[in-house]
Amino acid sequence: MSPAMNSARSEHKALDAILDQSSFPVERAAALEPVFEKFCATLRGIANLWTGASQPVSFRGLFAARLNETLSKSLGCVIARAKSSTQEHPPLFLLDRAGMTAIISSIFGTGVDVEPDEHLSLVEQALLTAYFGRATEALNLAFAGILETDFELDSTAVVSEESINTKRDAPVVSIHCEIGTPPAGGALTILLPLQFIQAIRHFLQPEPIREKPGNDVKWTRGLQAGVGATAIRVDALLDEFPMTLRAIANLSAGQMIELRTIDVNMIKLCCGDKPLFNCALGEESGRYALAIRESIGLETDPGANPSDSPL
């Protein structure tokens, strides 16, 4: 692994500080990991078709950082700026010298090294420009279905003190990828500005939890016990009929009221205004009793389990 990658990984910050500024849960930053795993796999496939050689690209993690601090530790690396008509603050790419060597060696063979200065040959510039162009293609494919992007390569340059001083410092999310095979691998870093993170908040926000109701046996049994112990009034009706208000007002003690029914086997057992059963008048232990004959007015579900009833 390259010294640049080791340095970046040893000095990275937690994501909390940067992500809290965007007002969404820090733990949702993990939602970006599959995106950049897909980016690495896509870039690997595109680069392999382009160079005709196997060029490993692996996702290594994402961390919070500051733009100028990151660039100051990347002097001599190549920075590529993406542009987009839909995103006002597109990502930046950083490629260290070991990464450049890995890419160029995959095309020309082993033994090629990039000189550690701020100047690239025309051939090196052309190759790296083409590679970054393919990196922006891979980034578009990685965000497909999540965010509408049309990233294109805007420009490339070697990071220098002058270029850092002209940039406004800002928090970024730093995505670390490794190019090549350790220990000779190099570092490809994607820097996502905070404004870009805010643009994809809908993706990072946690989905509302939609839990299916579970079968809580303890709760169900408690409910059954509580409902089953509730006392409810029931009425046994031998007959019911209308009376005028005048007739009701004239009622007095000792008066006889004629009933319309003469069948004591047609008594209705009701709960409130809901008839439950037809009953017959009987006797039990020396007292009047009701013998239930048939149910009336009860709607039952043919597929219901009687044991599910709290009663």
Averaging pLDDT over each range in 28-32, 146-150, 214-218, which range is the top one?
146-150
Are 67 and 172 in contact by the 8 Å Cβ rule? The answer is yes
Are 104 and 130 in contact by the 8 Å Cβ rule? The answer is no
Same domain, 238 and 178: no
Asked if the model's pLDDT at residue 308 lies above 80, the reply is no
Same domain, 286 and 195: no
**Interval 242-285: pLDDT, tens:** 888 888 888 899 888 888 777 778 888 888 888 889 998 888 88
Same domain, 149 and 282: no
DSSP collapsed to 3 states, 47-72? HHHHHCCCCCEEEEEEEEEEHHHHHH
Asked if the model's pLDDT at residue 28 lies above 80, the reply is no
- For residues 287 and 26, the model is more confident at 287
Domain carrying residue 153: 3-204
Same domain, 194 and 237: no
Amino acid at 189: T
Same domain, 25 and 172: yes
Same domain, 89 and 237: no
For residue 74, give the CATH number of its domain.
3.40.1550.10
Number of independent structural domains in the chain: 2
The pLDDT assigned to 309 comes to 43
Collapsing DSSP to helix, strand or coil, 179 comes out as strand
The pLDDT assigned to 3 comes to 45
Same domain, 130 and 237: no
Q: What is the mean pLDDT of the segment spanning 223-247?
A: 83
Do the domain assignments include residue 248? no
The pLDDT assigned to 214 comes to 56
pTM for the predicted model, two decimal places: 0.57
Same domain, 196 and 267: no
**Interval 149-171: pLDDT, tens:** 899 999 888 888 877 765 667 78
**Interval 54-92: pLDDT, tens:** 778 888 888 878 888 888 888 888 889 999 888 888 899
Are 185 and 56 in contact by the 8 Å Cβ rule? The answer is yes
Asked if the model's pLDDT at residue 93 lies above 90, the reply is yes
Q: What is the mean pLDDT of the segment spanning 229-237?
A: 85
Do the domain assignments include residue 89? yes
